[in-house]
Every structure is written in structure tokens, then in C-alpha cells.
Amino acid sequence: MTSMSAITQTSDFTNKAALIPLATERPAYYRMSGIEETSNVSSEFQEERSEEEVEEEIGYEDPFRYVFYRDRKEWADLEPVPQDDGPNPVVKIAYSDKFTDVYDYFRALLKNDEKSDRALLLTAEAIELNAANYTVWHYRRVLLQALEKDLREEMRYITTIIEDQPKNYQVWHHRRMVVEWLNDPSEELEFIAEILSQDAKNYHAWQHRQWVIKEYKLWDSELEYVEQLLEEDVRNNSAWNQRHYIISHTTGYSDPAILNREVQYSLKQIKKAPHNESVWNYLKGILQDLGLSSHPGLLEQILELKETHCSPYLLGFLVDIYEDFLENTLEHHEEVLSKALELCELLAREKDTIRREYWSYVGRSLQTKYGSSDSSTTTSAPGIDPGSASGSVHQETPCSS
Amino acid sequence: MGTQVKDVVIKSDAPSALLLDKHADYIAAYGSKKDDYEYTLSEYLRMSGIYWGLTVMDLMGQLTRMNQQEISDFIKSCQHDCGGVSASIGHDPHVLYTLSAVQILSLYDNVNVLDVDKVVEYVRGLQQEDGSFAGDKWGEIDTRFSFCAVATLALLGRLDAINVDKAVEFVLSCMNFDGGFGCRPGSESHAGQIYCCTGFLSIAGQLHQVNADLLGWWLCERQLPSGGLNGRPEKLPDVCYSWWVLASLKIIGRIHWIDKSKLRSFILACQDEETGGFADRPGDMVDPFHTLFGVAGLSLLGEGQIKDVNPVLCMPEDVLERLGLHPDLLS
């Protein structure tokens, strides 16, 4: 949906529009930058008009400015095509006059398959009224190709549109097509960064960014960019996803030095903001193939964090580490299982009650898979020396976050 | 230690009873009101708008209030020579609106209003070499379109028309480190895309490829203290995610991981007691899209007054029963 304010003009408006003398007629619809203007008007008037081009709405600040297509003599050769809602429209639909006017003429152009500059201009106006209309965008692309228009100009155009309406599939897809036609991504990273500075999680912007980077191999400074975004908002899930994307496609995570770098980076971010879904998902994501319990020193670091930066995520992560430990080692099962079950119970009962069903499930699964035939889970196995355990199984104080 | 969680607060006077009659009246009258600028603006998705309206009416047992003949005629006028269907007359065909058209006609048990063979040809033609699907001839690739393609063909009994294995390969390549799915390989996990991908895998008989525990965890993490669900971390709740998230959980057999009563309260709070219909969150303006997904979400939660909805196709179960369609669900 566009954010256009409701247009409520009626016949009163039409009358005013018709009063504009032809000699000084300067249709306000000529407002997009770079569009050629047929001008026989004095420069003094042009200056006056160019100020009005700054207005958000087409000609709406001054009702004398806008002229309907049906009243423009240079469009008189076209028969407007009214909206067709089907053979037996039951519903009577009220449209704004201007919307009706523009789209009646758009349909006329489509019907005649007209390929002209005025058609291109009209698509801009139709887009302004409804940038989600994919048929208008299609037609515009057909025109751009048929008329062999300057695609650099089109880049300027689509830049303006996206800045105005950044959450729309069509505008981004259009931009991608133009970039492909030009085979020139040189403006993209900066442009996308600009859009992301307004909304750092814009899903469309991120898709476009990933495409540009992969297609044109622009990996080099992306990790730096991601770190900058995470500095600004460590909870930006899109940025964490991008981090994974970049590293996966460049160095990968198989080098232990890189993996450890990422683990330490994540732990550092956790200290800054412990209640952060994204970083915990990331940490788990990069370690799960190798196994959470296999990373040297990780359990100790997590247990340390538990004292000062606890969260339901941390507790859940601990459960995951213990589970991985149980899966990959044969020693100390009962103690580790006991710890894990205790945490599941704590999460279900107190720390993450909205997901109690999940935590109960995890506890039951662990019990089923690793529990001994003796139903008691609190007996410590004889002969265990906690100090020799690779994982820490000493008694922990409950998290007090 | 206080934490700022991005969420809404439900006011004490928010609606707490289900107002089905008001919703039926809202949908029945939609498009006939005078100042419907919004209706005009949404012409580019009209076919989906009709699907949302009819489906929610059917779920509420009120389908007969809609004009079947008019709608069938409209759909017929929207099929193009290439076989694809457009959102409205004079618009270009697209797989999104092709699916909506087939869903609508399935509700009416009348798919032969369309040239079915041509629909199948159109969908087949959208599949790319890597198994993905474009939305239309302009080539935008998105897992949403993979879902639309197989859902359309499944409803027509023509899944064999495409290369299912390749299609599966592409969708699986969109599985992320957190167990979720995005629109293309590498894209951030998003509940809407996850619904499309789990729905796709269900139809393709490949649900075993999903890491159900990992994905189920990511999905139940969508639930916020207000009870509502968001679409990805650190976003506000929205009633449409009651569908995308809940249906996904149902498909992978983990719907009980959501606190049902809290979610139900959130959904009910999104109703508008005066106009009928549901909004994205309490107090906002209603629309048919959120109305369908609010009602469908309640159906998944077991609301007695609403017909059972199929979590894969978002259509009444009795319609799929009639078609003999039983997409897989994990238990």
C-alpha cells in the first residue's frame, strides 16, 4: 500500500482545473528530474514553477496547477478506458478523480500498445499513485527497452522512488533489472546503505544487497559494514544473517582461527546485550556442525557469563551444550543430564514460561535418550571426580537475572 | 535487569470475545463502500483479495453470501493467452494470482472455468534450471513462488508437470543456519518464507528434510510477552504471523510449543468491535488480509465456531477432503 494521503477532490476541482489559460499552462506532472520539458514559457515562470516541483504531491498545493489528462489537448487522440471490474459488477467503487483519470489513460495506452515518451511519463505518474502495481512496472520496462531510453536516467528515477517507498517488491526488482541492463553495480552498496540507514532491517534492501555482492563479487568491505551496523544495533537480525552470509561465501568457518574469532566476537556482543535472540542463534548456528561441546573453553566462558549476563537464551544454550556433550561423550552422563534437566525445569517453570511446552519436550527427550533405567536423575555416579571432567559439572548457583 | 523487548501492550478494554458475525458482515460489504480508496489501490492484488475474502467467509460458514457467478466470470477474464492469471482485468499474469484463482475455483469446485492445461503450462514455464520458480516473465525468484507453483499444481492434480526434485533442491538451498528459510539462498529467515517452504516441502513429500526441533524452536521464539507472534527477531507482533508461524508449526508437528491461550488473547484483541475485521495489531485499521489470517489462526488453535483450516494450503479442510488432497504433516 502506498502512503498517499486520501485525495478528495470532486467536480469543483475539475472546474478550477479547466480555468487555467493555455498560454501559461505548466502541467505540474512534469516534475520528475531529468524529464525533458517542452517549453515555450518564459524563464521567469519556469523559476516559479520549479519551486513547486519540490512539493510532495503532484500539483496539490495549488489546485490550479493540476490538469486532468482528459483535459489535455495533447492527449485528446486517446480514448480513455474505464476500469472493468467484470461483466456484472455488483460493487460500485468510488475512486478519486485523479486516480481514475491517470489509470483510464494508462489502460488506453496498454490497449493501443503505445510505445512513446508520453506513455513513459504516464507510467511515472501511475507509479506515483500506486507503486505496487506490477503491470505498470512491466509496461515501463517494455517502454524503456522499446524507446532505448537512457538507463542512467532510469537509475536516478528508481533511486527517488525507492527512497520514497522502500518496502515494495516491485521497485527493488525494477532497480535490479536496470543494474543488470547497465551491468553496473557501482552505486549499489552506497545506495542500499543509505536505505538501511533509515530502516536497518528492510528485507528487500538486504536481498538486493546480497544479490549485488554475489553477482559482482563485492565481498571485500562487507564484513566491516556488518560490524558497523552491529555497533549501532547489536540486535539487528538482518546484520547477523549478513555476517553469516559473508563469511560462508568467503573464508568459511572451517578454519579454527576464524571459528574462534566468531565465537569470541559473539560472546563480546552477548556481554553488551545479553537478551539478544540473534547472537545466540548465530553462535549456535556456527557451532552446531562441529558440536557445541567440542569448542575448547566455551562451556567455561558460558558458565562465567551466567553469573553476570544471564538470560533465558544463555540457559537454553547451556542445555544445548550439555545435550551435545551427552551425544558425543560416554562419561559423566548422569551428572550432565541432571544439569540439563534442572535447567529445562527452571526455564519451563520460571525463566521462559511462555515456551514451557518446548522446555518440557527437551527435558523429556533428554531423559528418554540418555536417562538410565533407574528413573532417578539426581544420583551421582560413583567414582566421578568433578575436577577431571572435561566439562564442568560442579554445582552452579541458579541464574538470578 | 530490565530488558526492552519490542512488543505491544494489550489494553484492558481490548476485545476478548470472538465477533464472527461482525467479520462476516465486514467481508460481505468490502468494496461496496463509497470512500474505498484502499480498494482502488489494491487492484493490483485483487485476485488474492478475493481469495482472502472467500476463504474467511467459508471458514465462518458464510460463503453463500458471496457472488459465485460474478467471481467466476471475473476469473475467466483474467486468464491470459500464456495460461497465467492476473490479479485483475488488464493486469499482467503472475504465479501469485494464478494460485489465488485456482484456490478460489477449488472452493467452488469449478476449476474448469480456467483452461487448466494452459495453467499447468504457464507454471511449468516458470521453473528455472536450478529448480527455482520465477513469479512471472520478468524473472524475480523467490521461494514464495516455489510454493505457489506446487500448490497450484497440487490443487489441479498435476504436480508431475514440473521437476519436483530440482524444485526441492532449490528450496533446501534456502535453509539457513538457524533452521529457517528465506526468499533466496542466504536470505534472512522470515516466518512468511518459512510457511512457504514448509508448505512446499509438505506438498513435495519432503518434510523429513526439515530440522523440526531447530526450526520449531526458532518459530516458537516468535512469541512475545503480549502473546502475539512476530516474523523474525526484534520485530513487532502482527496477527498475520499467527498464520505464517502457527501453520508452519502445525506442519512440522510442534504447534503445542506456542502458548495457545496467550496467542488467542492477542488475536482477539486485534478485532475491531465497530467495523468488524482484524488489524495487524490491536487498535490499527482492519483489512481482509489480516481478517483471514486472524480467523485461520484461531481455527488452528481449535476454535469451535470456525471450520478446520488446512495449514499447508490455507483452505477449509472439507474442500481438500473433497479434492482428496492430504498434504503431509509431521507429528
Question: Is residue A214 among the annotated active site residues?
Answer: no
Residues of chain B contacting A245 with CB distance shorter than 8 Å? 186
A319-348 tens-digit pLDDT:
999 999 999 988 888 999 999 999 999 999
B189:A84 CB<8 A: no
- Cα separation, B129 vs B183, whole angstroms: 17
Residues of chain B contacting A401 with CB distance shorter than 8 Å? 1
The phi and psi torsions of A341 (rounded to 5 degrees) equal -65, -40
B92:A96 CB<8 A: no
B92:A206 CB<8 A: no
pLDDT attached to residue A199: 96
- Cα separation, B29 vs A216, whole angstroms: 51
- Cα separation, A163 vs A33, whole angstroms: 14
Residues of chain B contacting A7 with CB distance shorter than 8 Å? 37
pLDDT attached to residue A385: 38
- Cα separation, B16 vs A355, whole angstroms: 23
Residue A91 pLDDT exceeds 50: no
Strands B315-316 and B309-310: antiparallel
Q: Which residue has the cell 533428554?
A: A366
* Chain A interface mutation, best of B67, B196, B221, B249, highest count of A Cβ atoms under 10 Å: B221
Residues of chain A contacting B88 with CB distance shorter than 8 Å? 85
Closest-approach residue (CA) in chain A for B187 = A207
Cell of A298: 566455551
**B285: amino acid identity, one letter:** M
- Higher per-residue pLDDT: B81 or A87: B81
- Cα separation, A220 vs A212, whole angstroms: 13
Residues of chain B contacting A210 with CB distance shorter than 8 Å? 184, 186-187
Closest-approach residue (CA) in chain B for A172 = B140
**Does any CB of chain B come closer than 8 Å to the CB of residue A245?**
yes
Q: Quick one: DSSP state of residue B155?
A: H
Neighbours of A115 (CB within 10 A): 14
CB neighbour class for A192 (10 Å; exposed up to 12, middle 13-18, buried from 19):
buried
A206:B187 CB<8 A: yes
Residue B80 pLDDT exceeds 90: yes
Residues of chain B contacting A278 with CB distance shorter than 8 Å? 233-234
Closest-approach residue (CA) in chain B for A94 = B34
For chain A, percent helix, then strand, then coil, each to nearest 5? 60, 0, 40
Closest-approach residue (CA) in chain A for B137 = A138
3-state SS record for A78-106: CCCCCCCCCCCCCCCCCCCHHHHHHHHHH
* Among candidate residues B313, B282, B244, B326, the one with its CA nearest the CA of residue B55: B313
Residue A391 pLDDT exceeds 60: no
Nearest by CB to residue B36, choosing from A94, A169, A210, is A94
Residue A34 pLDDT exceeds 90: no
Closest-approach residue (CA) in chain A for B262 = A354
pLDDT attached to residue A81: 87
Q: Quick one: DSSP state of residue A42?
A: -
Q: Which pLDDT band holds residue A191 (cuts at 50, 70, 90)?
A: very high
- Cα separation, B238 vs B235, whole angstroms: 9
Q: Which pLDDT band holds residue A29 (cuts at 50, 70, 90)?
A: very low
Residue A26 pLDDT exceeds 80: no
- Cα separation, B323 vs A80, whole angstroms: 44
Residues of chain B contacting A113 with CB distance shorter than 8 Å? none
Q: Which pLDDT band holds residue B178 (cuts at 50, 70, 90)?
A: very high
Residue B269 to residues A255, B15, B229, B295, B301, Cα–Cα distance (Å) = 50, 5, 13, 12, 15
Residue A389 pLDDT exceeds 50: no
Q: Which pLDDT band holds residue A5 (cuts at 50, 70, 90)?
A: very low
Our CA-based measurement puts residue A126 at a distance from the nearest CA of chain B, in whole angstroms, of 11
A6:B40 CB<8 A: no
**Does any CB of chain B come closer than 8 Å to the CB of residue A360?**
no
Q: Quick one: DSSP state of residue A372?
A: -
**Does any CB of chain B come closer than 8 Å to the CB of residue A206?**
yes
B233:A241 CB<8 A: no
pLDDT attached to residue A86: 58
Residue B317 pLDDT exceeds 60: yes
Most confident of A2-16, A62-76, A79-93, B293-307: B293-307
The separation between the first and the last C-alpha atoms of chain A, rounded to the nearest angstrom, is 43
- Dmax (CA) for chain B in angstroms is 63
- Cα separation, A352 vs A180, whole angstroms: 48
**Does any CB of chain B come closer than 8 Å to the CB of residue A133?**
yes
Residue A167 to residues A4, A132, A164, A170, B17, Cα–Cα distance (Å) = 14, 10, 9, 9, 34
B35:A236 CB<8 A: no
Whole-number percent of chain B with pLDDT over 90: 91
Mean pLDDT calculated for residue range A16-31? 32
3-state SS record for B109-141: CCHHHCCHHHHHHHHHHCECCCCCEECCCCCCE
Q: Which pLDDT band holds residue B322 (cuts at 50, 70, 90)?
A: very high
Residues in chain A: 401
pLDDT attached to residue A1: 37
Q: Which residue has the cell 499482467?
A: B92
pLDDT attached to residue A99: 83
Closest-approach residue (CA) in chain B for A289 = B177
Nearest by CB to residue A203, choosing from B188, B254, B259, is B188
Mean pLDDT calculated for residue range B172-189? 97
Nearest by CB to residue B44, choosing from A93, A134, A236, is A134
- Cα separation, A281 vs A41, whole angstroms: 63
Q: Which pLDDT band holds residue A271 (cuts at 50, 70, 90)?
A: very high
Restricting to A residues 290-349, those with a Cβ less than 8 Å away from any Cβ of B are none
A207:B184 CB<8 A: yes
Q: Which residue has the cell 551435545?
A: A324
Cell of B250: 502445525
pLDDT attached to residue A373: 58
Residue A401 pLDDT exceeds 60: no
Closest-approach residue (CA) in chain A for B229 = A354
Whole-number percent of chain A with pLDDT over 70: 74
Residues in chain B: 331
Nearest by CB to residue B37, choosing from A96, A285, A288, is A96
Residues of chain B contacting A169 with CB distance shorter than 8 Å? 140
Is the ipTM here above 0.85?
yes
Q: Which contacts qualify for B110-115: CB closer than 8 Å, 24 or more apart?
A: B110/B72, B111/B155, B111/B156, B113/B72, B113/B75, B113/B76, B114/B75, B114/B76, B114/B79, B114/B85, B115/B79, B115/B83
Q: Which pLDDT band holds residue B36 (cuts at 50, 70, 90)?
A: low
Q: Which residue has the cell 508437470?
A: B161
Q: Which pLDDT band holds residue A166 (cuts at 50, 70, 90)?
A: very high
3-class SS of residue A198: helix
* Contact (Cβ atoms closer than 8 angstroms) between residue A192 and residue A216: no
Residue B32 pLDDT exceeds 80: no
Query: Which residues are within 8 A (CB) of B91 and not within 5 positions of it... i.e. 6 or more apart?
Result: A133, A134, A135, B43, B44, B78, B97
Whole-number percent of chain B with pLDDT over 70: 97
Kindly report which listed range (A126-130, A294-298, B35-39, B255-259) carries the lowest average pLDDT score: B35-39
B44-78 tens-digit pLDDT:
899 999 999 999 999 999 999 999 999 999 999 99
Residues of chain B contacting A354 with CB distance shorter than 8 Å? 223, 225, 227, 259, 262
Q: Which of A16, A149, A167, A201 is catalytic?
A: A167
**Does any CB of chain B come closer than 8 Å to the CB of residue A112?**
no
Residue B10 pLDDT exceeds 50: yes
Q: pTM for this structure?
A: 0.83
B182-223 tens-digit pLDDT:
999 999 999 999 999 999 999 999 999 999 999 999 999 999
